[in-house]
Amino acid sequence: METFISFTNQSQGRDRLFRATQYACALLKYLLRNEAKRKDLVKKLQFLESNMSSGRKLFRLGNTVNSIHAVKSTLNISDPVLRFCLSFANLNRALYFICDNILWARSIGLIRDIDKERWSLNSTRFYFLSLVMNLTRDVYVIIQLMVQKSRDRHYQRKIDQHLNESPDVACVIVPQLDAFLFLLLDSLRNEPSVALDTLKNVCDLFIPLDKLGIYQTNAGVVGFCGLISSLLGILSVLRPSLKIKP
């Protein structure tokens, strides 16, 4: 109970909970769309999804300032690749929140003379760029972990032992590819925060890809990916050790 109270007291925790509910509703709505007996339930799910989306927009009013502050912090990172990826990601995230705040102001009537479709498209583009840069950071970190392990003589012997113990696999698959996959999986297993962040960003990527028409799926796939990434986000809030750093 104390963990739940601590989680809900955090703005990030409430946002993740609202987001998970929003995409769960979207997924259920898609799965029940063809059932005539569930039309009332589908309408309730749509209403709840809309409310969750509106609530999240209200929670995110202060996130623009946080993202700008994050840009300043990441500019001090010594690694040039991480510095560029994280700074560019946070900058795009700040622009995304600005667009999101303007759309929220229009939805409640504070602003009227704006093109909703144009601002929504720009918001999605900034969100997409932010995710791409975060994924680039993830790939860079994974490569660094793999390089460090590959230089370890003890680990090299471990890979050789793995190939010797699996001769059938080595014959079917190129030994170098098998060694690469073994190294990749072991690196991610030893750094769960990197694996979790990578999976979360990959799931999130399907949302803007669909909205921008780059890779169109359907509402079910978007709802499922959004739900998975939200649950992973909740896990990272509950267990800060699983949050990737920097």
In the chain, where the domains are located: 2-242
In whole angstroms, give the CA distance from residue 180 to residue 194: 17
Q: What are phi and psi of 191, to 5 degrees?
A: -125, 75
In whole angstroms, give the CA distance from residue 100 to residue 92: 12
For residue 170, what pLDDT is reported? 45
44, two tokens? 């309730």
224, two tokens? 């499922």
80, two tokens? 């040039």
CB atoms within 10 A of CB 3: 9
- Whether the per-residue pLDDT at 103 is higher than 80: the answer is yes
Q: How confident is the model at residue 60 (pLDDT cuts 50, 70, 90)?
A: confident
pTM, entire model: 0.88
Residue 166 sits at the vertex; the CA angle it makes with 168 and 179, to the nearest 5 degrees, is: 105
User: With contact defined as beta carbons under 8 Å apart, do 230 and 207 qualify?
Assistant: no
Q: How confident is the model at residue 165 (pLDDT cuts 50, 70, 90)?
A: low
- Whether the per-residue pLDDT at 22 is higher than 90: the answer is yes
